[in-house]
């Protein structure tokens, strides 16, 4: 019952589904009930999944294996299982170890939506509307289970795409995991130079924009960094190479090299912004 699990529960309830919620934290379950996020709280995992049509694992990556292990013997024969983890190779490894004959009913998933906030209090039924959800089905995945998970996410207004597991983890090491590394590191480096109080008082808007995600849950991101460490380390090394190129060009006052570096980055960022505007317009049209 966190940000993603709570937001999905809200969206599915709005679409007419009945939702049970499970959490090891009694206060999170209690708060989810108070906010109307779920229909039924379950402090016991076996009760939560009893007779369930779909089971969604929305826990930190470090807890995924334990949850899969806990599902053994409690799932309905035809239950579909999916998850929201951002490192699919790690999740699939755990699924292969613990899901047994239910593996064919497992559809790995990753909604590309979230905020720097955490907890069920931050959940929102519209979090996934117009956002992409990546599914990484296995060779063994039952096509009917895959279609059911596609339908689940479409009920939230999400745009659903399929992707290979390795490709997914490579892409998100670059577009999600590395940016979080950089945001945390930038705040730490700037505070060491200027002092925490001066940073808090005088940081410009650009600093706040680029470091917003450094307010994310550190424990969750530790698990993500470790789960995708090989690809993330590769991306950190590539970033260091690019940063060294820019540093050398600045040091030697190589104007054309600096402009070429910045121009290439600007063009890519402008293309991203244009793509996001198109997506926002399409969502607006659908709402109208």
Domains in the chain: boundaries = 3-163, 168-251
DSSP secondary structure string for all residues of 2-57:
-HHHHHHHHHHHHTT---EEE-S-HHHHHHHHHTT--SEEESSHHHHHTT-SEEEE
**CB-based contacts of 204-209 (< 8 A; 24+ apart in sequence):** none
Given this model, what pLDDT does residue 288 score? 45
Given this model, what pLDDT does residue 194 score? 83
- Helices assigned H by DSSP within the chain: 3-14, 26-34, 45-49, 61-71, 88-98, 143-154, 165-172, 178-194, 196-202, 205-210, 218-227, 229-251, 255-287
Q: Hey, which residues does 42 pair with through a beta bridge?
A: 22
DSSP 8-class letter at 100: G
Structure tokens at 287: 């709402």
**257 SS3 class:** helix
Estimate to the nearest angstrom the gap between the alpha carbon of 283 and the chain centroid: 21
The CB-side HSE value for 169 (13 A sphere, CA atoms) comes to 21
Given this model, what pLDDT does residue 280 score? 57
Strands 132-135 and 159-162: parallel
| Mean pLDDT in order along the chain per 10 residues (288 residues) | 94 94 93 94 93 95 94 92 97 96 97 84 93 96 97 96 97 96 94 83 84 91 96 97 97 98 95 76 52
Given this model, what pLDDT does residue 98 score? 96
Q: Hey, which residues does 40 pair with through a beta bridge?
A: 20
Check if the beta carbon of residue 136 is closer than 8 Å to that of residue 112.
no
**109 SS3 class:** strand
* Other Cβ atoms within 10 Å of 217 Cβ, number: 15
Q: Which residues contact 169 (CB under 8 A, 6 or more apart)?
A: 87, 88, 89, 228, 231
**156 SS3 class:** coil
**Assigned CATH class of 3-163:** alpha beta
**CATH entry 1.10.3660.10 includes domain 168-251:** yes
Distance (Å, whole) CA 181 – CA 190: 14
Closest Cα partner for 173 from 213, 229, 218, 232?
232
């Amino acid at each position: 019952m966190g940000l993603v699990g709570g937001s999905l529960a809200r969206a599915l309830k709005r679409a007419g589904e009945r939702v049970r919620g499970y959490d090891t934290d009694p206060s999170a379950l209690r708060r989810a009930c108070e906010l109307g996020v779920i229909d039924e709280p379950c402090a016991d995992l076996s009760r939560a999944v009893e007779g369930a049509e779909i089971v969604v694992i929305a826990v930190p990556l470090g807890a995924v294996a334990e949850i899969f292990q806990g599902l053994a013997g409690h799932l309905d024969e035809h239950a579909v299982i999916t998850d929201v983890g951002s490192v699919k190779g790690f999740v699939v490894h755990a699924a292969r170890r613990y899901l047994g004959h239910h593996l064919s009913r497992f559809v790995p998933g990753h909604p590309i939506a979230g905020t720097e906030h955490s907890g069920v209090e931050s959940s929102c039924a519209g979090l996934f509307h117009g956002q992409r959800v990546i599914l990484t089905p296995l060779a063994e995945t039952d096509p009917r289970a895959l279609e059911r998970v596609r339908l689940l996410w479409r009920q939230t207004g999400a745009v659903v795409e399929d992707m290979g597991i390795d490709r997914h983890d490579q892409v998100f090491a670059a577009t999600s995991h590395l940016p979080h590394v950089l945001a945390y590191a930038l705040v730490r480096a700037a505070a060491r130079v200027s002092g925490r109080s001066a940073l808090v008082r005088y940081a410009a808007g650009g600093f706040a924009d680029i470091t917003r995600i450094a307010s994310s849950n550190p424990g969750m991101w530790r698990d993500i960094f470790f789960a995708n460490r090989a690809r993330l380390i590769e991306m950190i090394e590539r970033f260091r190479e690019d940063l060294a190129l820019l540093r050398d060009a600045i040091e030697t006052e190589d104007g054309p090299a600096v402009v070429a570096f910045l121009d290439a980055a600007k063009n890519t960022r402008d293309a991203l912004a244009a793509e996001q505007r198109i997506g926002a317009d399409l969502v607006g049209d659908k709402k109208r």
